Amino acid sequence: MILDLFRLDGQVAVVTGAGRGIGAASALGLAECGADVIIASRTQGDLDRVAEKISAAGRRAVTVAADLSDLDAVRRLAEIARSEFGRLDVVVNNVGGAIPLPFLDTTVEYLEEAFHFNVSTAHALNLVAVPLMLEHGGGSIINISSVMGRVSGRGYSAYGATKAALAHYTRLISKDLAPKIRVNAIAAGSTATSALEIVTGTPELKSMVEALTPLHRIADPEEIAASVVYLASAAGAFLTGKVLEVDGGTDVPSLDFGLPDL
């Protein structure tokens, strides 16, 4: 049956930023399809709640509470995969983000910090994950990018530029790692995560986002997670170097900050 292609039985995944939102939903989705999961984020309490759901799905979760802007902490995730499970098959680089700022407030230091958090952390994990993945024939890497890596709007120079870098990084390393390891990305649109609470909790902002999204709604984290499962599994076995645009049809920023001309 075609549904069998989505199974991940016997596989092991690492998901960063897995305490809430897209990361949490992705970790649970992978577990529901049969994978054991190493979940990492800053807050142990968030991880414990996700781990309980993974256990209820019949799979094992290993929690790692760490500041994932620390590259040493990121690198340890592959060591944990080896010591706990002896293998690694799926990497979901979900941790990232940057607060939009007006251009003149976007310092060089802030831009470099955004690049570090959105791109360097993913590269650090991939570097240590790939040798372990190859020991069992390969696997799948999924980078969570953003629609803002493709469209343009005021205030998004740091966030958009670094998410665009992550998307093209995906295309580039897919050539380095083919044919054994597939590398894809998801350009997510506005999604109901904790990062968007200021929007979902403010009727005027929520209405703006919905109006500027052709499907006229905000995505659920599970909708992004479904794409993660697709890319991780045999269902997506003929995709590599691609960026799936799971964005409700968005062609312009769904949140306009109304920044004036300089």
Query: CB neighbours (10 Å) of residue 217?
Result: 13
Q: Which strands form 181-188's sheet, in the order they lie side by side?
A: 61-65, 36-41, 12-16, 90-93, 139-146, 181-188, 243-246
Q: Tens of pLDDT along 52-89?
A: 999 999 999 999 999 999 999 999 999 999 999 999 99
Distance CA 171, CA 153 (A): 24
Distance CA 111, CA 101 (A): 10
Residue 9 maps to a domain: yes
Residue 259 maps to a domain: no
Q: What is the pLDDT of residue 81?
A: 98
Q: Tens of pLDDT along 162-176?
A: 999 999 999 999 999
Domain extent, residue 32, equals 2-246
For residue 72, give Cα distances in angstroms to 66, 121, 176: 10, 10, 24
Residue 261 maps to a domain: no
Q: Tens of pLDDT along 241-262?
A: 999 999 999 999 998 888 999 9
- CATH number of the domain at 71, please: 3.40.50.720
Annotated catalytic residue, options 156, 159, 169, 230:
159
Residue 251 maps to a domain: no
Number of domains observed in the structure of the chain: 1
What does pTM read for this prediction? 0.96
Q: What is the pLDDT of residue 197?
A: 83
Distance CA 252, CA 254 (A): 6
pLDDT at 157 over 90: yes
Distance CA 190, CA 151 (A): 13
Residue 262 maps to a domain: no
Q: What are the residues whose beta carbons fall under 8 Å from the beta carbon of 258, sequence distance 6 or more? A: none
Q: Tens of pLDDT along 75-126?
A: 999 999 999 999 999 999 999 999 999 999 999 999 999 999 999 999 999 9
Structure tokens at 177: 């790692």
pLDDT at 201 over 90: no
Residue 158 maps to a domain: yes
Residue 79 maps to a domain: yes
Query: Which is nearest to 191 in space by CA: 149, 221, 167, 146?
Result: 221
Strand partners, 38: 14, 62
Residue 162 maps to a domain: yes
159 catalytic, yes or no?
yes
Task: Convert 72-107 into a string of H (helix), E (strand) and C (coil).
Answer: HHHHHHHHHHHHHHCCCCEEEECCCCCCCCCHHHCC
Q: What is the pLDDT of residue 73?
A: 97
Cis amide prior to 102 (ω within 30 degrees) = no
